[in-house]
Amino acid sequence: MLRFWGLAALSILLVFGDGYIINPKIGRPHNAKVSNRNVTAESSIILSHVVILLFSLIFRHGNRTPEMSERYPTDPYLNYTYYPYGIGQLTNSGKRREYSIGSALRERYDNFLGQYYQPDIIESRSTDRNRTKMSLLLVLASLFPPKCRMVWDGELNWQPIPYNYIPEKDDAVLYGISCPTYVEQYAEVLQSPEVQADLSQYATEFNYIAENSGLNITSFEDVYNVYFGLSTEEEYGLTLPNWTARVWPDLINEVSFKQYEIYTKTTNLTKMAAGYFIEKILKDTQKKIENSTETKIYLYSAHENNLGQLFQALNLFEYPHIPTYGSYALFEVHWINNTYGFKSFSNMLRQAWVVGLLLLFAISWTQEEEASGMDQSTLILTHVIFRHGNRTPDIEHELYPKDPYLNELYHPYGNGQLTKVGKHKEYGVGKALRARYDSFLGDHYYPQIIDAHTTDYNRTKMSLQLVLAGLFPPREEDIFEDGIIWQPVPFNYLPKDRDKVLLGVLCPNYLRMYEEVTQSEEIQNKFAQYTDVFQYVSEHTGLKVTRFFDFYNLYFGLSTEQEYGFTLPDWTKTVWPKTVTDLAIQDYFVSMTTKEMRQMATGYFLDKIIEDTKRKIISSEWPGKKMYLYSAHENNIAELLISLNVFDKWHVPNYGSWVALEIHFVNNIYGVKVFYENHTGNGPQLLSIPECGSFCPLDKFIGLTSEFIPPEDLCGIE
């Protein structure tokens, strides 16, 4: 077994972007220096003549604007808004830089990865920051440009790729320095005689910076924050004040680097700061060697301190410096002469092997007619929830033992994944929302105006990326690479077992209640009305059909196969589509049988809408939140319409269907307008809520939905 403590025994070759080959035991260049061209050529030969099994890459996000925490009281740019980027967000330079990383990876690993994106071959993970999420989207965009069958738009040479992240407080792999034990031990280290003696050597410089910045400078970390404030302002083109000339950049760089030494001052701090990440690389490698995973690439979008702590832990710093934007560490797992081993590469983004493989594409952004009933002059906020796009079947849940297509691989999409048609559908949703809310949202993507959430499924994550691509096409000044008419917009999600808002039907208490309800006399009597159909379908599918939920799953199996172009077996003709569809829809109502089940199925979502609306009304922020966007499933749409008592015609909501709950201010009254777009050819329909109308005053809307608002602990998530 590979173990964390065994890392020192591994032979690691680190190649820096300036061409030096570094021996980690010595920490300085060998006598020989090779050219960048030779490094690239050698890498190509290596990839051609040995077996590469896997690679893991961790990289720093792209160039960005300053965080508020990095500015100082006397900062002449303290109130600078950095519009339209926002605070602590990627700039166009940063977007270009990250896009080039993906291009370089595609050039290096083209044969290894194959021409198609396939969900099983990559695990991409980001920290919980907008700039790292956007950076990861940019790397993925150039790493997996759509090819052949995966081209879903002839002009837009881009496809959505889902990513994952964990909230900062729970992310030990990329945020080990946030662990409670780390924070406690770090504080103790700061007070140690050794560190205090080191700090005292810079007392004069600390006093000078404090006097001129208005900060209380007592630690290397204080200067470390000043470093980012000054460097980002300078890069943005702002002139630094005269007082900085004495300490910037040399002294502040020198002192800031010492923060990495503090981060890894003790063995325990090092284990938490970098060890969890190293351990994950080793465990992932072990799984690959044991053939227990199909993954070929692990991508991590992170920060300079992740690289700094990693290099400190492995004693790999060639010289003291802050890793630049887009710098990375790459770990390749090779099989050479019956031996598994690592080869590791890094860059400082000077020359390295970041070759500009530009993906050129153009798109004409068309706008649809504005839907009837839309008045942007009174609109203050909109909440939009939509269903993902067309997809392939989920083999585990939706197919049946006698299914003639049971072993179909659905290459290159994969099981339960978006198809090309689905990508078109979701991109169209984004363009329709742009047409509808164009003047309301404004010309630019600005992080403050939108909060985008998805469920933890590839198809909803990819759908959300497509909607965001159509909703926020870059303006001329947003274009970060010639010919690339797309910009990354980050999104958020929670793991399936933690997401009460969009996946309340997976709450432990909901699942228990659902089983109890299906065994109740009332529901069993309903099932009994369809005994003949249950038996017929059981006989021909090989399933044991005992409830509506079985038809619900069968509906998706048959509909996705038929849409994919497969001919359904003859036995389906007597029950498809009407009977199967009708019985599948019945499950929506079974799933909402009791008050508590309705509260979990839709109540957490309604509660969030109401609370977000209240915050908007009392907020004085500019421009403030304008849209909450949710990528979810057909049951989210159906159950919401049922809760609002506007599910008039029973149906399964179509792919890309959406509901918008718009908050308007009309005649000094805040109210809700509900629009439903099911792509039936009539455009978004303004719905009338019983006992409230098509413009439902907010206080009345809150009263009507109050019965659905759940107690916080109803879900059963600990």
Q: From the CB of residue 148, how many other CB atoms can be counted at a distance below 10 Å?
A: 8
Contact 74, 240 (CB under 8 A): no
Kind and range of the H or E element at 59? strand 51-60
Contact 267, 275 (CB under 8 A): no
3-state secondary structure of 32: coil
254 is written with which tokens? Answer: 């020198």
433 is written with which tokens? Answer: 């929302």
Place of tokens 């009597």: 525
Q: Report the alpha-carbon distance of residue 608 to residue 547 in Å, rounded.
A: 32
Distances (CA, A) of 484 to 366, 420, 422, 496: 17, 20, 22, 34
What torsion do the CA atoms of 179, 182, 188, 189 make, to the nearest 10 degrees? Answer: -140
Q: Report the alpha-carbon distance of residue 242 to residue 630 in Å, rounded.
A: 48
Q: Report the alpha-carbon distance of residue 33 to residue 714 in Å, rounded.
A: 65
388 catalytic residue (yes or no): yes
369 catalytic residue (yes or no): no
CB under 8 A, 24+ apart: contacts of 569-573:
569/404, 569/540, 571/540, 572/540
Q: From the CB of residue 295, how many other CB atoms can be counted at a distance below 10 Å?
A: 16
3-state secondary structure of 320: coil
Catalytic residue, chosen from 303, 383, 388, 664, is 388
Catalytic residue, chosen from 321, 408, 634, 651, is 634
Contact 148, 155 (CB under 8 A): no
314 is written with which tokens? Answer: 């492995």
Q: Report the alpha-carbon distance of residue 700 to residue 684 in Å, rounded.
A: 23
* CA angle at 202 for the pair 197 and 205, rounded to the nearest 5°: 160
3-state secondary structure of 408: coil
List residues with catalytic annotation.
Answer: 388, 634
